[in-house]
């Protein structure tokens, strides 16, 4: 019997806990590139740190346990993780991506993987029956985010996974916005889970990292081979930082979400606000589906101000909430998707998928919610034209 049954405990005790040599309660930073072998042809566990490193292995075991997978893999960034997953595919293959996918994922397919003859199509993954019609024989995978960036669009992950299984193709979920604390796509039938661990898993805006989790031995072998062959691995120190960050994921997210629910309420009542996008609001697109597949609405909110508010002034007037790329750290951040995270998506495509120039994205931190809301309120006031 396991010593614990709940994810709050797994966050702290999961994976490889402590150090087998010294009984240190924390996994040490094994800052080494290579390991001495006992003799020619003799068995060894550790060989070279691109192939395997004990600190990284502890993190990989931890994320696999948290996502209820069988194998985890740590990469130098979320994009390196996505690159490794896309390296499963071959010339002639096509990947379906959801229309609100992370800008970097779109750019990677549009500008890099197209060199290798791997194509993509952008589809509305919230509409399962129209999605099914887009599955031609070239399509080998469906890659979705739920809630998706930046309109917090919810996709039915179980339905997409069932559809992928029906056509014998892979369902891939970028679970960055939710983390396994709020949503576990493998349990809903997904084949591969990806994370930008730079965000909530790290949680302190001090490390760039990516993770992949699978629950199938054949896929695990393929990803391990790609990880070792392409080499975009996470270093021992950053692996340590992530293990450390993950220990407090539960308490951080509880506070993030509590704050976000209050902020979404505040924005939806504010006279300057035209639209609020937050999957935790009952009137939000996909509210019921999100409630079924995730613990709550998470802590990302997007909104639009009415046209008579000057959005440049709004950003300039914020004092506590910082204008920055990224999300998921303890500090509240704000960004302008059209010119920042999603700038690599052409203007016409942005308009089609609803990423307007007036859209503002908030990553609600764990500061006092009163301070966060006071800052947003004064910036809105300053920006009124
Ligand atoms: C940030 C992000 C990525 C890219 O991850 P990096 O760690 O920045 O390389 C991928 N997907 C989503 C949803 C993200 O937010």
Query: 141 with 171: CB under 8 angstroms?
Result: yes
C-alpha of residue 5 to centroid of ligand 1, in Å: 30
Averaged pLDDT, 162-177:
98
Indicate whether residue 104 lines ligand 1 (CB < 6 A). yes
In 3-state terms, what secondary structure has residue 334?
strand
* The CA-based dihedral angle spanning residues 98, 148, 283, 256, taken in that order and rounded to the nearest 10 degrees: 170
Q: Which atom of ligand 1 is nearest to the CA of 326?
A: 1
Query: 381 with 360: CB under 8 angstroms?
Result: no
Crossing angle of helices 78-86/103-111, nearest 10°?
40
Q: Which atom of ligand 1 is nearest to the CA of 82?
A: 10
Which one of 75, 76, 77, 78 would you pick to mutate in the ligand 1 pocket, going by the greatest count of ligand atoms within 8 A of its CB?
Answer: 78
Report phi then psi at 340, rounded to 5: -120, -95
Averaged pLDDT, 340-344:
83
C-alpha of residue 290 to centroid of ligand 1, in Å: 21
pLDDT tens-digit map of 111-159: 999 999 999 999 999 999 999 999 999 999 999 999 998 899 999 999 9
Indicate whether residue 146 lines ligand 1 (CB < 6 A). no
The predicted structure's pLDDT at residue 280: 97
For atom 4 of ligand 1, which residue has the closest CA? Answer: 78
- Grade residue 20 by pLDDT with cuts at 50, 70 and 90: confident
Nearest to 100 by CA among 128, 81, 126: 126
In sequence order, what are the beta bridge partners of 29? none
C-alpha of residue 197 to centroid of ligand 1, in Å: 8
C-alpha of residue 45 to centroid of ligand 1, in Å: 32
What is the pTM (predicted TM-score) of this model? 0.96
Sheet containing strand 322-323, edge to edge, reads 273-277, 300-305, 359-363, 333-335, 322-323
User: Please, which residues have CB within 8 angstroms of residue 39's CB and are 6 or more apart in sequence?
Assistant: none
| Residues involved in catalysis | 50, 102, 174, 199
C-alpha of residue 265 to centroid of ligand 1, in Å: 27
Indicate whether residue 211 lines ligand 1 (CB < 6 A). no
pLDDT tens-digit map of 289-309: 999 999 999 999 999 999 999
Q: Which atom of ligand 1 is nearest to the CA of 79?
A: 9
The predicted structure's pLDDT at residue 91: 98
User: Which structure tokens are listed for 41?
Assistant: 């042809």
For atom 6 of ligand 1, which residue has the closest CA? Answer: 78
How many whole angstroms separate alpha carbon 375 and alpha carbon 9? 35
Averaged pLDDT, 64-85:
98
The predicted structure's pLDDT at residue 1: 56
Indicate whether residue 145 lines ligand 1 (CB < 6 A). yes
The predicted structure's pLDDT at residue 2: 79
Output 2 or 288, whichever has higher pLDDT. 288
pLDDT tens-digit map of 274-290: 999 999 999 999 999 99
């Amino acid at each position: 019997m396991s010593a614990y049954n709940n994810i709050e405990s797994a966050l702290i005790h999961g994976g490889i806990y402590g150090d087998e040599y010294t009984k240190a309660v924390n996994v040490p930073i094994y800052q080494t590139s290579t390991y001495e072998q006992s003799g020619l042809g003799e068995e060894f566990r550790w060989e070279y740190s691109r192939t395997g490193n004990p600190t990284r292995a502890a993190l990989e075991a931890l994320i696999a346990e948290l996502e209820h997978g069988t194998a985890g893999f740590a990469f130098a960034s979320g994009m390196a993780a996505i690159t490794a997953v896309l390296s499963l595919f071959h010339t002639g293959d096509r990947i379906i991506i959801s229309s609100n996918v992370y800008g970097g994922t779109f750019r990677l397919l549009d500008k890099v993987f197209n060199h290798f003859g791997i194509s993509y199509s952008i589809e509305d993954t919230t509409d399962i029956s129209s999605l099914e019609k887009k599955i031609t024989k070239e399509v080998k995978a469906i890659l979705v985010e739920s809630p998706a960036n930046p309109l917090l669009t919810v996709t039915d992950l179980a339905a997409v996974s069932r559809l992928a299984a029906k056509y014998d193709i892979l369902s891939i979920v970028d679970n960055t916005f939710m983390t396994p604390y709020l949503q576990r796509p493998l349990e809903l039938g997904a084949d591969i889970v990806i994370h930008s661990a730079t965000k909530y898993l790290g949680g302190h805006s001090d490390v760039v990292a990516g993770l992949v989790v699978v629950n199938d031995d054949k896929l695990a072998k393929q990803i391990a081979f790609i990880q070792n062959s392409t080499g975009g691995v996470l270093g021992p120190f950053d692996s340590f930082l992530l293990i450390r960050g993950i220990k407090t994921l539960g308490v951080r997210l509880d506070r993030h979400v509590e704050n976000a629910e209050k902020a979404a309420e505040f924005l939806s009542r504010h006279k300057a606000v035209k639209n609020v996008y937050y999957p935790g609001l009952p009137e939000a697109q996909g509210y019921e589906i999100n409630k079924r597949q995730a613990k709550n609405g998470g802590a990302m909110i997007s909104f639009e101000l009415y046209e008579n508010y000057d959005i440049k002034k709004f950003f300039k007037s914020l004092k506590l909430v910082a204008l920055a790329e990224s999300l998921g750290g303890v500090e509240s951040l704000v960004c302008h998707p059209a010119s920042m995270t999603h700038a690599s998506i052409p203007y016409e495509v942005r308009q089609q998928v609803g990423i307007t120039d007036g859209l503002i994205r908030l990553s609600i931190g764990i500061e006092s919610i009163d301070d966060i809301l006071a800052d947003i309120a004064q910036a809105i006031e300053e920006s009124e034209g």
